[in-house]
Amino acid sequence: MKDDNLLVALCLTFAPLSLLAIGGGASILGELQAVVVDQSHWLTKQGFLDIFAISRVAPGPGTLIVTLIGWKIDGLAGAIVATIAIFAPSSLLILIVAHFWHSRPNAIWQRALIYGLSPLAAALVLSSAYFLLSNARGGWIAWIVALAIAVAAQRLRLGALALMGAGSLLFCGLALVAG
Protein backbone atom coordinates (compact mmCIF):
# COMPACT_ATOMS: atom_id res chain seq x y z
CA MET A 1 0.00 0.00 0.00
CA LYS A 2 1.40 3.39 -0.93
CA ASP A 3 1.96 5.90 1.86
CA ASP A 4 -0.90 8.14 0.71
CA ASN A 5 -3.31 5.22 0.71
CA LEU A 6 -2.04 4.15 4.11
CA LEU A 7 -2.60 7.63 5.54
CA VAL A 8 -6.14 7.68 4.13
CA ALA A 9 -6.73 4.23 5.63
CA LEU A 10 -5.49 5.48 9.02
CA CYS A 11 -7.83 8.45 8.83
CA LEU A 12 -10.81 6.32 7.77
CA THR A 13 -10.07 3.87 10.57
CA PHE A 14 -9.58 6.28 13.45
CA ALA A 15 -12.07 9.06 12.67
CA PRO A 16 -15.17 6.90 13.29
CA LEU A 17 -13.60 5.48 16.45
CA SER A 18 -13.24 9.04 17.70
CA LEU A 19 -17.01 9.31 17.87
CA LEU A 20 -17.24 6.03 19.81
CA ALA A 21 -14.72 6.98 22.49
CA ILE A 22 -17.41 7.69 25.06
CA GLY A 23 -15.74 7.71 28.44
CA GLY A 24 -12.25 8.11 27.02
CA GLY A 25 -9.77 6.16 24.98
CA ALA A 26 -10.14 3.00 27.04
CA SER A 27 -13.66 2.54 25.71
CA ILE A 28 -12.45 1.89 22.15
CA LEU A 29 -9.50 -0.41 22.87
CA GLY A 30 -11.38 -3.57 21.97
CA GLU A 31 -12.56 -2.21 18.64
CA LEU A 32 -9.19 -0.58 18.02
CA GLN A 33 -7.45 -3.90 18.50
CA ALA A 34 -9.96 -5.68 16.26
CA VAL A 35 -9.40 -3.19 13.45
CA VAL A 36 -5.64 -2.71 13.76
CA VAL A 37 -4.70 -6.34 14.49
CA ASP A 38 -7.42 -8.62 13.11
CA GLN A 39 -8.78 -6.68 10.12
CA SER A 40 -5.97 -4.48 8.82
CA HIS A 41 -3.05 -6.61 10.12
CA TRP A 42 -1.05 -3.46 10.81
CA LEU A 43 0.17 -4.87 14.14
CA THR A 44 0.42 -8.25 15.81
CA LYS A 45 -1.44 -8.90 19.07
CA GLN A 46 1.84 -8.59 20.94
CA GLY A 47 2.73 -5.40 19.07
CA PHE A 48 -0.64 -3.93 20.05
CA LEU A 49 -0.13 -4.89 23.70
CA ASP A 50 3.36 -3.37 23.67
CA ILE A 51 2.05 -0.08 22.27
CA PHE A 52 -0.82 -0.18 24.76
CA ALA A 53 1.68 -0.54 27.64
CA ILE A 54 3.74 2.39 26.38
CA SER A 55 0.61 4.54 26.02
CA ARG A 56 -0.44 3.74 29.60
CA VAL A 57 2.93 4.71 31.05
CA ALA A 58 3.17 7.94 29.08
CA PRO A 59 1.36 11.03 30.33
CA GLY A 60 -1.62 12.18 28.32
CA PRO A 61 -4.99 10.93 27.21
CA GLY A 62 -5.89 7.28 26.71
CA THR A 63 -6.19 7.87 23.01
CA LEU A 64 -2.43 8.44 22.84
CA ILE A 65 -2.29 4.81 21.75
CA VAL A 66 -3.64 5.88 18.34
CA THR A 67 -0.73 8.29 17.86
CA LEU A 68 1.70 5.49 18.69
CA ILE A 69 -0.05 3.12 16.29
CA GLY A 70 0.13 5.75 13.56
CA TRP A 71 3.85 6.22 14.28
CA LYS A 72 4.49 2.48 14.13
CA ILE A 73 2.59 2.13 10.86
CA ASP A 74 3.85 5.17 8.92
CA GLY A 75 6.26 7.22 11.02
CA LEU A 76 5.69 10.91 11.73
CA ALA A 77 3.06 11.34 9.00
CA GLY A 78 1.13 8.36 10.38
CA ALA A 79 1.31 9.74 13.91
CA ILE A 80 0.03 13.15 12.81
CA VAL A 81 -2.82 11.75 10.68
CA ALA A 82 -3.86 9.26 13.36
CA THR A 83 -3.83 11.94 16.07
CA ILE A 84 -5.91 14.36 14.01
CA ALA A 85 -8.30 11.57 13.03
CA ILE A 86 -8.90 10.48 16.63
CA PHE A 87 -9.27 13.98 18.09
CA ALA A 88 -10.89 16.15 15.39
CA PRO A 89 -14.31 14.46 14.95
CA SER A 90 -15.07 14.13 18.66
CA SER A 91 -13.76 17.64 19.36
CA LEU A 92 -16.05 19.11 16.70
CA LEU A 93 -18.97 17.11 18.07
CA ILE A 94 -18.26 18.40 21.58
CA LEU A 95 -18.22 21.99 20.34
CA ILE A 96 -21.60 21.53 18.69
CA VAL A 97 -23.12 19.75 21.70
CA ALA A 98 -21.68 22.37 24.08
CA HIS A 99 -23.35 25.13 22.09
CA PHE A 100 -26.74 23.44 22.35
CA TRP A 101 -26.11 22.37 25.93
CA HIS A 102 -25.55 25.91 27.16
CA SER A 103 -28.28 27.45 25.04
CA ARG A 104 -30.91 25.16 26.56
CA PRO A 105 -30.11 24.72 30.27
CA ASN A 106 -32.00 22.03 32.20
CA ALA A 107 -33.48 20.44 29.09
CA ILE A 108 -34.76 16.90 29.52
CA TRP A 109 -32.43 15.58 26.83
CA GLN A 110 -29.44 16.71 28.91
CA ARG A 111 -30.37 14.39 31.79
CA ALA A 112 -31.10 11.61 29.31
CA LEU A 113 -27.64 12.00 27.80
CA ILE A 114 -25.92 12.03 31.18
CA TYR A 115 -27.78 9.01 32.54
CA GLY A 116 -27.78 7.13 29.25
CA LEU A 117 -24.14 7.54 28.33
CA SER A 118 -22.74 6.59 31.75
CA PRO A 119 -23.58 2.85 31.53
CA LEU A 120 -22.58 2.83 27.88
CA ALA A 121 -19.15 4.25 28.72
CA ALA A 122 -18.69 1.74 31.56
CA ALA A 123 -19.65 -1.17 29.28
CA LEU A 124 -17.23 -0.06 26.58
CA VAL A 125 -14.39 0.22 29.11
CA LEU A 126 -15.20 -3.26 30.51
CA SER A 127 -15.26 -4.66 26.99
CA SER A 128 -11.84 -3.18 26.31
CA ALA A 129 -10.47 -4.61 29.56
CA TYR A 130 -11.74 -8.04 28.50
CA PHE A 131 -10.02 -7.78 25.10
CA LEU A 132 -6.73 -6.71 26.68
CA LEU A 133 -6.77 -9.40 29.34
CA SER A 134 -7.71 -12.07 26.82
CA ASN A 135 -4.58 -11.28 24.83
CA ALA A 136 -2.21 -10.70 27.74
CA ARG A 137 0.59 -13.21 28.20
CA GLY A 138 -0.11 -13.45 31.93
CA GLY A 139 -3.00 -15.89 31.57
CA TRP A 140 -4.99 -16.54 34.73
CA ILE A 141 -2.50 -14.54 36.79
CA ALA A 142 -3.27 -11.40 34.76
CA TRP A 143 -6.98 -11.90 35.38
CA ILE A 144 -6.48 -12.29 39.14
CA VAL A 145 -4.20 -9.26 39.35
CA ALA A 146 -6.64 -7.15 37.30
CA LEU A 147 -9.54 -8.13 39.56
CA ALA A 148 -7.51 -7.53 42.73
CA ILE A 149 -6.33 -4.11 41.56
CA ALA A 150 -9.86 -3.14 40.49
CA VAL A 151 -11.17 -4.06 43.96
CA ALA A 152 -8.27 -2.24 45.65
CA ALA A 153 -8.86 0.85 43.52
CA GLN A 154 -12.51 0.89 44.52
CA ARG A 155 -12.16 0.08 48.20
CA LEU A 156 -8.81 1.53 49.22
CA ARG A 157 -8.79 4.62 46.98
CA LEU A 158 -5.06 4.30 46.35
CA GLY A 159 -3.27 6.39 43.77
CA ALA A 160 -2.25 5.06 40.37
CA LEU A 161 1.42 4.60 41.31
CA ALA A 162 0.54 2.60 44.42
CA LEU A 163 -1.83 0.43 42.41
CA MET A 164 0.76 -0.13 39.69
CA GLY A 165 3.36 -1.10 42.29
CA ALA A 166 0.95 -3.40 44.11
CA GLY A 167 -0.14 -4.99 40.85
CA SER A 168 3.45 -5.57 39.77
CA LEU A 169 4.36 -7.14 43.11
CA LEU A 170 1.23 -9.29 43.11
CA PHE A 171 1.87 -10.46 39.54
CA CYS A 172 5.51 -11.32 40.29
CA GLY A 173 4.55 -13.11 43.49
CA LEU A 174 1.85 -15.19 41.82
CA ALA A 175 4.14 -15.97 38.89
CA LEU A 176 6.84 -17.22 41.28
CA VAL A 177 4.37 -19.36 43.21
CA ALA A 178 2.85 -20.78 40.00
CA GLY A 179 6.30 -21.45 38.83
Cα–Cα distance for residue pair 118/13, rounded to 1 Å: 25
Same domain, residue pair 59 and 128: yes
Q: Model confidence over 122-156: pLDDT tens digits?
A: 887 888 788 788 877 788 899 999 999 999 999 99
Same domain, residue pair 120 and 143: no
Same domain, residue pair 73 and 107: yes
Same domain, residue pair 18 and 97: yes
More confident position, 41 or 120: 41
Same domain, residue pair 24 and 54: yes
Same domain, residue pair 89 and 172: no
Average pLDDT, integer, range 102-120: 83
Residue 151 is predicted with a pLDDT of 93
Q: Model confidence over 31-71: pLDDT tens digits?
A: 899 999 999 999 999 999 899 989 888 888 878 899 999 99
The parent domain of residue 94 ranges over: 3-132
Same domain, residue pair 125 and 143: no
pLDDT tier, 3 (very low <50, low <70, confident <90, very high otherwise): low
Same domain, residue pair 162 and 87: no
Give the contacts of 144 (CB within 8 A, at least 6 positions apart): 170, 174
Residue 117 is predicted with a pLDDT of 81
Same domain, residue pair 107 and 57: yes
Same domain, residue pair 58 and 104: yes
Same domain, residue pair 97 and 167: no
Q: What is the 3-state secondary structure (H, E, C) of 144-164?
A: HHHHHHHHHHHHHCCCHHHHH
Domain count, the chain: 2
Residue 12 is predicted with a pLDDT of 94
Q: Model confidence over 8-31: pLDDT tens digits?
A: 999 999 999 998 887 677 788 888
Is 1 a residue whose pLDDT tops 50? no
